[in-house]
Amino acid sequence: MIERYTLPEMGRVWSEAHKYELWCHVETLVLEAHAAAGVVPADVVEPVRNAPPPTPEAVKAIEDVTQHDVIAFLSAWADNTTPREAAAYVHFGMTSSDLLDTALGLQLVEATDILLEKADTLVATLRDHALAHRETLRVGRTHGIHGEPDVWGHRVADFAFGMARSRDRLRRARESVAVMAISGAVGTYSNIDPAVETHVAAALGLRPADVSTQVVLRDGISEWVSALAILATVCEAIALEVRHGQRTEVRETWEPFGKGQKGSSAMPHKKNPILSERICGMARIVRAQIVPVMEGIPLWHERDISHSSVERIALPDAAAATDYLLHLTNRLVSGLVVDAERMRANLDLTGGLIYSSTVLLEVVEMGASREDAYALVQGAAMQTWQEGIPFRETLRARAADAGITLDEARLDEVCRPERFVARLAPMFERLEKLA
Catalytic residues: 143, 264
Other C-beta atoms closer than 10 Å to the C-beta of 424 total: 17
Q: Is 207 helix (H, G, I), strand (E, B) or coil?
A: strand
Q: Is 433 helix (H, G, I), strand (E, B) or coil?
A: coil
Q: How many helices (H) and strands (E) would you count in the chain? A: 19, 6
For residue 392, the Cα-to-chain-centroid distance in whole angstroms is 45
- H or E element in which residue 407 lies: none
Q: Is the CB of residue 129 less than 8 Å from the CB of residue 71?
A: no
Strands (E), 73-167: 137-142, 145-151
* Per-residue CA distances from 169 to 3, 275, 302 (Å): 28, 25, 30
| Residues facing residue 140 across a β-bridge | 148
Give every CB contact of residue 117 below 8 A, 6+ residues apart in sequence: none
Rounded Cα–Cα distance for residues 30 and 191 (Å): 13
Question: 123, 105, 114, 120: which is closest to 321 by C-alpha?
Answer: 114
R_g (Cα) of the chain, nearest Å: 30
Tell how strand 253-254 and strand 137-142 pair up: unpaired
Rounded Cα–Cα distance for residues 243 and 237 (Å): 10
